[in-house]
Amino acid sequence: MRELADHLETFRDLAPRVVYTDLDGTLLGPGGSLFAADEGGVTLEAAEALAALHRAEIAVVPISGRTAPQVLETARVIGARDYVAELGGITVYGLGEDTVRDHGAYQGGGTPHDAMFRDGVPGMLMDAFQGTLEPHAPWAFMPRESSMLFRGHVPLEEAREVLAAAGCGWLDLLDNGMIPRAYPALEVEEVHAYHLLPKGVTKAAAAAADLARRGVDPERAIAVGDSPSDAALAEAVGTVCIVANGRAAVEAAGHETAYATTASHGAGFAEVVRAFLRD
């Protein structure tokens, strides 16, 4: 990945109209707080960066793996009217005035989440990866439509082969970043958050559809995140930045086109904003 600090002149002329930001691990600090600094204490960097974006009339669009109700509450707090939930499955406009769903292709009624249960996917995956994959409790048990949420550390290509062999090739398992803590039942050295979704349902697909709806050139959109799913937004937007705490996971996944910040979490988000809002 390229160092953001080495490319500040490139950022000077970006003039973005939309900034997509991941929440947990990116805009929000440890514990999911907008004001939590990496090493403890309090920081206003992310809040001040958000205020600068609002003053410049640049749209801030949270794009998260959280459920739509979860993102709604955070969107209201940070002053965003539109947001993307469930890793791209649901896009909400006007804090609920209009909702667009991208559920991909699946068989049967109900939602993709319902279809996964009908196919027995949760148990099948955890049987295949005993000790390395489990539901990301308690958040995995909140009502979902498009996705299922797991934690652990598994080879994604192997997981996709397991899904295909079980007749569930309509699904894909996506890495949504590292979780900085250990869980007693998991026999892994590092823990990642994984989302199981219908193939083609991604943050990148949601951002591309959103930009088309807004009539905004992708070159005038920036995404900030901490995971391979965020780095894949390069398919939809002109510039992707990865905060420092997500760099290892993104590089391990083979993404090379993003810019890496020096700072982590909300301070990294603020570093990106300062790069193109010099004043």
Residue at which a domain ends, from 198, 229, 246: 198
Run of H or E including 149: strand 148-152
Residues 6 or more apart whose CB falls under 8 angstroms from that of 54 comprise 60, 79
pLDDT, tens only, 211-266: 999 999 999 999 999 999 999 999 999 999 999 999 999 998 888 889 999 999 99
Which amino acid belongs to residue 12? R
Residues 182 and 233 in one domain: no
Nearest C-alpha neighbor of 84 from the set 69, 64, 104: 64
Neighbour tally for 106: CB within 10 Å: 20
Residues 28 and 94 in one domain: yes
Residue 107 lies in a domain: no
Q: Percentage helix, strand, coil, to 5, in the chain?
A: 40, 20, 40
Residues 66 and 129 in one domain: no
Residue 40 has pLDDT above 90, yes or no: no
Nearest-5° angle of CA 70, CA 214, CA 77?
Answer: 30
Q: What residues are paired with 59 via a beta bridge?
A: 18
10: CATH: 3.40.50.1000
Beta 171-179 vs 148-152: how paired, if at all?
Answer: unpaired
Is residue 179 exposed (0-12), middle (13-18) or buried (19+ Cβ within 10 Å)? middle
Q: What residues are paired with 22 via a beta bridge?
A: none
Q: Find the range with the poorest average confidence among 38-42, 163-167, 241-245.
A: 38-42
Residues 208 and 236 in one domain: yes
Which amino acid belongs to residue 97? E
Neighbour tally for 102: CB within 10 Å: 19
Residues 214 and 92 in one domain: yes
141: CATH: 3.90.1070
pTM of the full predicted structure?
A: 0.95
Residues 190 and 215 in one domain: no
Residues 258 and 139 in one domain: no
Residues 24 and 144 in one domain: no
pLDDT, tens only, 104-128: 999 899 999 999 999 999 999 999 9
- Per the structure, the count of domains in the chain is 2
pLDDT, tens only, 52-104: 999 999 999 999 999 999 999 999 999 999 999 999 999 999 999 999 999 99
Q: Is 120 left (phi over 0), alpha (psi -120 to 50) or beta?
A: left
12-31: b (≥16 Cβ within 10 Å) or e: eebebbbbbbbbbbbbbbbe
The boundaries of the domain holding residue 265 are 2-102+202-276
Residue at which a domain ends, from 164, 198, 232: 198
Residue at which a domain ends, from 139, 173, 198: 198
Residues 125 and 246 in one domain: no
Alpha-carbon gap, residue 210 to 176, rounded angstroms: 20
Residues 97 and 206 in one domain: yes
Residue 279 has pLDDT above 80, yes or no: no
Residues 80 and 168 in one domain: no
Residues 216 and 267 in one domain: yes
209-248: b (≥16 Cβ within 10 Å) or e: bbbeebebebebbbbbbbbbbbbbbbebbebbbbbbbbbe
pLDDT, tens only, 177-210: 999 899 999 999 999 999 999 999 999 999 999 9
